[in-house]
């Protein structure tokens, strides 16, 4: 059982929980994730470790309420418990030790970008961050990203704050203006990561994306999370979740992510919850 | 043994084989001729005192029989159900030469179930001995090793990666063959011997083997199993509706997807399901498919019926449940519709050629014999290999190229103080062989700990370092 020591409501549908998990906090690195099970009849869902505090033995989880399990998790308050938190899982991100990196986060994808931007910033890499959301009230972690970036660009789809347009359009604008990056890290919805990879492909800038496949165990024993990268099948939970965005078969990843669409709706309806946020 | 009628049981996940009642058990027990030199015992990897416990059943002392079995076997209700007795104890039964062998497995199950029903009294705790052991993996090998060490007085902590202990007993073997309440009861018995259980710890990620030694463990047993699924690497294998048997069974058994949406984990079952493979896991997967609501479920196997590694009893059960069998047939491609979902399995016919290294005749493709099976779900049950995480993260631990850990006859690995056993060493095998390996390693670990602490005077002196 893992106690929730802090809760922040980032937007009406995005919550931040600081969770007591000393064994996870002891070893985790940027890029890794945990599998969470909220209650006894619950399912196992993967959540990125957005931040960690080794001395306090806690990890920070940020999630958007997109379905039944995340909504249940969203109702948990400080002092409540999460049944299972297992990790750290996945391969830590291989981060550059010097140079200039663009860190791009779309929607709740800002959360997984944050620990990478923070580690890069602390090791002396120049960090240019581009974060975005559909509208200003859905934007998360702006202050946190500001603190670990040399430059921060905020984008909204509806123009309610910052740049009016997608984060990938902002990236393209910066590149066209002659800005140089040694690497791009892009995390967000699959379509956004694909668009980011397309922007950098012709310019030959290495682009890392973090894939959010369907997972069950998260330890490599089932292959539910398999993705095709460079023509080869990889398990996102043990070979990833970070991959070379130019090598990922995004069409397949999108198709596989929709596999349980109907069941996800059933789960919401049967349990009498309010509808999803989308 | 009485069973649930086939037509009824394919609609539920309740146990198929109902077990002996006291009358049937005693009737069967008196068939045992109580050999002076019982050869049945040599077929049992954990050396259960077979004639003695059968005599107790014949005498009506059922709890006594269960206690006697438990002197050497910590998990008898499980073994009585899932051991391939026809290749082990019952294979050696003298009666089997002219008649049916004594139904040792069913009798073991009867005694264990009797005790579970009556209430189990754990044995008295032995005197505490110096020495602390970490057991990695709470499957059959780990449970046996941990139980045996605790029974000898050692402090044992068992680390499990999943949220529930049992390994393949809990995520792999379905409820209708091995009820989870039975697994839970037997795991609780092992814990009652004094074993500590820590779930949600992945050794190699959450903690390393080095961390365990640093945290004060004197010895480590790796019973991490063979959880890595094999795929065929044919086109279309990543289409929606293609599962590994591990995913299919984990969703069904561990996560109880058959009770969706009361349980939250979904599973997608088509009208026609093909399961590729011929082992026990394939039989479990195909029989789950019917119970999950598939109209038709088919085994696709590249050799013929005789070569199938599955237990004859499981194949019979599957047949009675109307599972279809396509022998000498191998998939070449998974076909998908425009939305990326499975809509067929292209197969090629095979014929048997010369025997291969395993002694089984090698299947050879018949040119131009491709045909399409009309299915919408495909489950790959092609076997598994050891999970590489522990080997990759433990310096000095040698593994074979195919992933199995290298050990000597006692289970000792290439790393001092580290033993291993079960599927992590052999690749996917049986529950009872894993238990035998756990027992052998526990024996060797006891010697190691005794030697290590021989000069230690029980608290006054320095604790020896690993």
3-state SS string for A82-124: ECEEEEEECCCCCCCCCCEEEEEEEHHHHHHHHHHHHHHHHCC
Kindly state the tokens that stand for B182.
Answer: 């039975």
Residue in A closest to B267 by C-alpha = A260
pLDDT digits (tens, 9 = 90+) for B365-401: 999 999 999 999 999 999 999 988 899 999 999 999 9
Contacts (Cβ under 8 Å, ≥6 apart) of A150? A121, A126, A127, A128
Is the separation of the CB atoms in B317 and B299 below 8 Å?
no
Write out residues 166-185 of A within 8 Å (CB-CB) of B.
Answer: none
The phi and psi torsions of A225 (rounded to 5 degrees) equal: -95, 20
Low-confidence stretches of chain B (pLDDT < 70) are 456-466
Cα–Cα distance, B59 to B389 (Å, whole number)? 50
Question: What tokens were used for A253?
Answer: 């990843």
Dihedrals φ, ψ of B84, to 5°?
-80, 75
CA gyration radius, chain B: 23
- What is the distance of C-alpha B262 from the center of its chain? 28
How far is it, in rounded angstroms, from Cα A145 to Cα A126? 13
Query: Residue A261, Cβ neighbours under 10 Å: how many?
Result: 10
Flag whether pLDDT at A277 surpasses 50. no
Chain B residues within an 8 Å CB radius of A263: 260-261, 266, 268
Is the pLDDT at A276 greater than 80? The verdict is: no
User: Nearest-CA neighbor of A233 among A211, A216, A258?
Assistant: A211
Which residue among B206, B238, B387 sits closest to A228, beta carbon to beta carbon?
B238
pLDDT for the residue numbered B50:
97
Determine how many CB atoms are found less than 10 A away from the CB of residue B118: 11
Task: Give strand ranges (E) for A107-224.
Answer: 126-133, 151-156, 163-164, 183-187, 207-210
**CB neighbourhood size of A199 (10 A):** 24
Across residues A78-85, what is the average pLDDT? 97
Percent of chain B whose pLDDT exceeds 70: 98
**Residue A62, strand partner residues:** A16
Measured CA to CA, the distance from residue A100 to residue A105 in angstroms comes to: 16
Is residue B396 a contact partner of residue B292, using CB atoms and an 8 Å limit?
no
Residue A242 has pLDDT above 70, yes or no: yes
Long-range CB contacts (< 8 A, 24+ apart) of A173-180?
A174/A102, A174/A128, A174/A130, A175/A199, A175/A200, A175/A203, A175/A205, A179/A128, A180/A100
Q: What is the DSSP string of B97-108?
A: GTSPPP-HHHHH
Using the Cβ of A27 and the Cβ atoms of chain B, whether some distance falls under 8 Å is answered with yes
Q: What is the pTM for the complete model shown? A: 0.93
A220: left (phi over 0), alpha (psi -120 to 50) or beta: left
Nearest to A264 by CA among A275, A251, A248, A250: A275
Q: Give the orientation angle of helix B312-320 with respect to helix B280-291, to 10 degrees.
A: 20
Contacts of A224 in chain B (CB under 8 A): 243-244, 247
DSSP string covering B280-327, please? HHHHHHHHHHHHTT-SEEEEE-SS-GGG--S-HHHHHHHHHTT-EEE-
Residue with tokens 């640093």: B214
| A contact test, residue of B200, B211, B226 with most A CBs within 10 A | B200
CA distance B322 to chain A (A): 27
Chain B residue numbers touching A227 (CB-CB < 8 A) = 238
Give just the sign of the alpha carbon dihedral A21, A25, A27, A33.
positive
Give the other-Cβ count within 10 Å of B114's Cβ. Answer: 19
Task: Work out the number of other CB atoms within 10 angstroms of the CB of residue B98.
Answer: 6
Chain B residues with CB under 8 Å of A217 CB are 161-162, 250
d(CA A60, CA A24): 11
Measure the CA–CA gap between A219 and A86, rounded to whole angstroms: 10
Query: What pLDDT shows up at residue B361?
Result: 85
- Whether residue B380 contacts residue B243, with contact meaning beta carbons closer than 8 Å, is answered with yes
pLDDT at B120: 80
| Interface check A137 vs B, CB under 8 A | no
| Chain B environment of A238 (Cβ under 8 Å) | 389
Q: What number of helices (H) and strands (E) belong to chain A?
A: 9, 16
User: Phi/psi zone of residue A21: left (φ > 0), alpha (ψ -120 to 50 degrees), beta?
Assistant: beta
What distance in Å separates the CA atoms of residue B210 and residue B243, rounded to the nearest whole number? 35
pLDDT for the residue numbered B357: 82
Interface test with A, best of B157, B227, B264, B267 (most A CBs within 10 A): B264
Positive/negative CA dihedral, B320, B324, B330, B332? negative
Give CA angle at B421 (B160, A236), nearest 5°: 50
Q: Which of A161-170, A202-211, B348-357 has the lowest mean pLDDT?
A: B348-357
Nearest to A110 by CA among A62, A150, A147: A62
Q: For residue A69, what is the nearest residue in chain B, using CA coordinates?
A: B264
Predicted local confidence at residue B461, as pLDDT: 46
Q: Using DSSP bridges, classify how beta strands B342-355 and B361-365 pair: parallel, antiparallel or unpaired.
A: antiparallel
With CA atoms as reference, report the closest residue to A140 among A93, A173, A103, A108: A108
Q: How far is CA A273 from the centre of its chain?
A: 25
What's the number of CA atoms in the CB half-sphere (13 Å) around residue B37? 0
Q: What is the rounded distance in angstroms from the CA atom of residue B398 to the CA atom of residue B392?
A: 9
What was the pLDDT predicted at B335?
98
Chain B residues touching chain A at CB-CB below 8 Å? 161-163, 199-202, 205-207, 227-229, 231, 233, 237-238, 240-241, 243-244, 246-247, 250-251, 255-256, 259-266, 268, 339-340, 384, 387-389
Predicted confidence (pLDDT) per residue in B195-240, tens digit: 999 999 999 999 999 999 999 999 999 999 999 999 999 999 999 9
* Distance between CA atoms of residues B279 and A90, nearest Å: 31
Judged against a pLDDT cut of 80, whether residue A68 lies above it is answered with: yes
Please report, for residues B132, B221, B264, B465, the alpha-carbon distance to residue B214 in angstroms, rounded to integers and kept in the order given: 12, 15, 39, 10
Give the pair of three-digit tokens for residue A219: 């330890």
How many beta carbons lie within 10 A of that of residue B17, not counting itself?
A: 17
Distance from CA of B229 to the nearest CA of A (A): 6
A216–B265: do the CB atoms touch at under 8 Å? yes
Q: Specify the pLDDT at position B124.
A: 83
Q: What is the mean pLDDT of chain A?
A: 94
């Amino acid at each position: 059982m893992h106690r929730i020591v802090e809760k922040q409501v980032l937007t009406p549908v995005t919550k931040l929980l600081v969770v007591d998990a000393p064994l996870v906090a002891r070893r985790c690195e940027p890029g890794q994730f945990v599998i969470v099970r909220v209650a006894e009849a619950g399912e196992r869902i993967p959540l990125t470790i957005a931040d960690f505090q080794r001395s306090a033995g806690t990890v920070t989880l940020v999630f958007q309420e997109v379905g039944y399990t995340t909504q249940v998790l969203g109702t948990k308050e400080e002092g409540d418990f999460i049944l299972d938190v297992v990790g750290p899982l996945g391969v830590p991100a291989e981060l550059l030790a010097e140079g200039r990196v663009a860190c791009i986060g779309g929607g709740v994808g800002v959360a997984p970008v944050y620990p990478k931007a923070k580690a890069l910033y602390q090791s002396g890499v120049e960090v240019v961050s581009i974060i975005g959301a559909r509208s200003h009230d859905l934007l998360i972690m702006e202050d946190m990203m500001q603190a670990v970036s040399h430059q921060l660009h905020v984008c909204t789809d509806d123009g309610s704050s910052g740049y009016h347009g997608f984060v990938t359009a902002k990236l393209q604008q910066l590149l066209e203006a002659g800005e140089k990056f040694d690497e791009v890290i892009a995390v967000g919805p699959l379509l956004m990561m694909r668009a980011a990879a397309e922007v950098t492909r012709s310019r030959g800038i290495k682009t890392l994306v973090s894939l959010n496949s369907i997972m069950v165990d998260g330890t490599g024993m089932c292959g539910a999370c398999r993705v095709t990268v460079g023509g080869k099948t990889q398990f996102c939970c043990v070979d990833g979740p970070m991959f070379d965005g130019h090598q990922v078969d995004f069409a397949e990843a999108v198709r596989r992510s929709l596999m349980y669409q109907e069941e996800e709706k059933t789960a919401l309806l049967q349990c009498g919850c309010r509808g999803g946020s989308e | 043994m009485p069973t649930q009628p086939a037509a009824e049981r394919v609609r539920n996940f309740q146990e198929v084989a109902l077990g002996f009642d006291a009358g049937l058990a005693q009737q069967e027990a008196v068939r045992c001729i109580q050999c002076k030199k019982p050869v049945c015992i040599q077929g049992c990897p954990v050396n259960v005192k077979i004639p003695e416990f059968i005599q107790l059943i014949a005498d009506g002392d059922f709890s006594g029989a269960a206690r006697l079995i438990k002197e050497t076997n910590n998990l008898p209700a499980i073994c009585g159900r899932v051991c391939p007795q026809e290749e082990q104890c019952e294979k050696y039964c003298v009666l089997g030469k002219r008649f049916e062998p004594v139904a040792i497995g069913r009798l073991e199950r009867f005694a264990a179930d009797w005790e579970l029903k009556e209430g189990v009294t754990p044995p008295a705790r032995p005197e505490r001995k110096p020495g602390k052991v970490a057991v990695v993996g709470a499957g059959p090998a780990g449970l046996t090793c941990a139980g045996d060490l605790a029974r000898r007085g050692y402090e044992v902590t068992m680390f499990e990666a999943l949220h529930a202990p049992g390994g393949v007993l809990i995520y792999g073997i379905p409820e209708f063959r091995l009820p989870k309440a039975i697994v839970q009861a037997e795991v609780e018995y092992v814990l009652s011997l004094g074993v500590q259980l820590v779930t949600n710890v992945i050794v190699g990620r959450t903690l390393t083997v080095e961390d365990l030694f640093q945290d004060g463990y004197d010895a480590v047993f790796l019973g991490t199993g063979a959880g890595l699924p094999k795929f065929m690497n044919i086109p279309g294998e990543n289409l929606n509706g293609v599962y590994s048997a591990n995913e299919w069974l984990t969703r069904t058994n561990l996560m109880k997807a058959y009770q969706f949406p009361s349980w939250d984990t979904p599973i997608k079952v088509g009208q026609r399901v093909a399961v590729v493979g011929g082992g026990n896991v394939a039989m479990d997967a195909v029989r789950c498919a019917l119970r999950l609501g598939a109209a038709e479920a088919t085994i696709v196997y590249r050799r013929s019926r005789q070569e199938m590694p599955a237990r004859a009893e499981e194949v019979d059960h599957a047949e009675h449940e109307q599972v279809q069998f396509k022998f000498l047939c191998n998939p070449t491609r998974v076909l998908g519709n425009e939305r990326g979902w499975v809509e067929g399995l292209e197969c090629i016919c095979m014929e048997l050629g010369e025997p291969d290294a395993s002694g089984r005749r090698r299947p050879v493709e018949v040119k131009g014999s491709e045909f399409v099976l009309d299915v919408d779900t495909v489950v790959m049950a092609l076997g598994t290999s050891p999970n590489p995480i522990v080997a990759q993260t433990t310096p000095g631990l040698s593994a074979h190229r195919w992933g199995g850990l290298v050990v000597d006859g006692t289970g000792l690995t290439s790393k001092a103080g580290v033993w291993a056993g079960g599927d992590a060493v052999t690749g996917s095998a049986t529950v009872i062989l894993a238990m035998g390996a756990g027992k052998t390693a526990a024996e060797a670990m006891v010697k190691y700990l005794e030697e290590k602490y021989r000069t230690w005077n029980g608290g006054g002196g320095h604790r020896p370092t690993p």
